[in-house]
Copies of this chain bind each other. A is one copy, B any other.
């Protein structure tokens, strides 16, 4: 099956703006488009005619709601095409294909070993004949900057092999964008999670590793090395008479440390030691010791991490996610430690969970795809 790469005729500026707004809204009437795009009625009429001609928009019904003449409703047309997002997680690979209005077309969730096949299957299941406009791959690593020429971006050492294994399944000629998985999850929280309506916030993920996704003015902050939010490199331990060691913080506040402490605590008791973070949190929810105090202590640690973030960024909102971070039991402890140390900052738990990374990657892919349409050519980022 062939995925044709956009030979869309160059759109006028207003048609591009209208398309972007239509993609965001999913479907809309001309007056709605005019108001959303900040254009006049005649201009929108012309733009819609242009989009219909290019099969980028189609008349999909009429809105007969209130008083007055009923308006024609438009939606995305068949030529608008689709995008695909891949989350290369440590254990599982998740794939999502979406239309440019964000509607889900294909979904897959497989063990990592089947990643390339899953991508191929997803590509085959997308509507043929319409262009594939963007590919976003989320990885658990710092993402390097653009490689000149191809438009693809190589992963650094940590996630390089995984990415290479999947990249053979990607169709040539379509722009590929690599993005950090925590950044993707932050975008998911921004658009359909706990940070909806915000412009600036931090998404703090605590699992085996720790990471921060920073959103400022609706944009992900990537940093000069693509390493913004890589909190593992915060100086730790840090005191008058102690030397910080590299990446020591992750070993101390990550979920491994939590389970290690649990194992130590359970040595002095009888009863089975919890083997996963979920088991530990379940015991703590019942008020059992030593689970409760271990969780309380973890909350204080997370609160300190959040305080470090607030001291630098003052984001106003921190969303907690990750295997040990997302549990609402942490909230009181995190809030009190953060409040004690730093600036007034709202703290809430993630609303999306494990799917956050694919969902956010798909959001990013949709944005790139829309850009691809409105700017006529392939987007370089």
Within 249-264 of A, Cβ neighbours of B (below 8 Å) are at 252
Q: Tell me whether A226 and B314 are in contact (CB under 8 A).
A: yes
Please name the residue on chain B nearest to A342 by beta carbon: B233
A344 to B232 Cα, complex, angstroms: 15
Q: Which residues of B contact A212 (CB under 8 A)?
A: 312
Within 299-331 of A, Cβ neighbours of B (below 8 Å) are at 304, 307-317
Q: Tell me whether A235 and B200 are in contact (CB under 8 A).
A: no
State whether the Cβ of A148 lies closer than 8 Å to any Cβ in chain B: no
State whether the Cβ of A147 lies closer than 8 Å to any Cβ in chain B: no
A309 to B311 Cα, complex, angstroms: 10
Q: Tell me whether B315 and A235 are in contact (CB under 8 A).
A: no
Please name the residue on chain B nearest to A219 by beta carbon: B217
| Distance to closest chain B CB from A342 (angstroms) | 4
State whether the Cβ of A224 lies closer than 8 Å to any Cβ in chain B: yes
A345 to B244 Cα, complex, angstroms: 18
State whether the Cβ of A31 lies closer than 8 Å to any Cβ in chain B: no
Q: Which residues of B contact A246 (CB under 8 A)?
A: 340-341
Q: Tell me whether A230 and B314 are in contact (CB under 8 A).
A: yes
Q: Tell me whether B340 and A234 are in contact (CB under 8 A).
A: no
Q: Which residues of B contact A244 (CB under 8 A)?
A: 304, 307, 341
Q: Tell me whether B312 and A308 are in contact (CB under 8 A).
A: yes
Pick the contact of A304 from B235, B307, B342 — CB < 8 Å? B235
By secondary structure, the A interface counts as loop
Q: Tell me whether A312 and B228 are in contact (CB under 8 A).
A: yes
Q: A interface, how many residues as a size bin?
A: 35 or more
Q: Check A343/B227 contact, CB under 8 A, given A244-B307, A313-B312.
A: yes
State whether the Cβ of A240 lies closer than 8 Å to any Cβ in chain B: yes
| Distance to closest chain B CB from A246 (angstroms) | 6
| Distance to closest chain B CB from A145 (angstroms) | 11
User: What per-residue 1/0 map shows which CB atoms of A205-234 lie under 8 Å from chain B?
Assistant: 000000010101000011111111111111
State whether the Cβ of A242 lies closer than 8 Å to any Cβ in chain B: yes
A366 to B307 Cα, complex, angstroms: 35
State whether the Cβ of A239 lies closer than 8 Å to any Cβ in chain B: yes
A156 to B242 Cα, complex, angstroms: 35
A242 to B241 Cα, complex, angstroms: 12
Q: Which residues of B contact A316 (CB under 8 A)?
A: 223-225
Q: Tell me whether B238 and A237 are in contact (CB under 8 A).
A: yes
Q: Check A313/B221 contact, CB under 8 A, given A227-B343, A304-B244.
A: yes
Q: Tell me whether A315 and B224 are in contact (CB under 8 A).
A: yes
State whether the Cβ of A236 lies closer than 8 Å to any Cβ in chain B: yes
Q: Which residues of B contact A200 (CB under 8 A)?
A: 223-224
Q: Check A311/B231 contact, CB under 8 A, given A239-B237, A239-B242, A246-B341.
A: yes
Within 19-69 of A, Cβ neighbours of B (below 8 Å) are at none
A304 to B342 Cα, complex, angstroms: 19
12 A-B pairs within 8 Å (CB atoms) are namely A200-B224, A212-B312, A223-B313, A224-B315, A227-B314, A229-B314, A236-B238, A237-B242, A238-B304, A246-B340, A309-B312, A312-B312
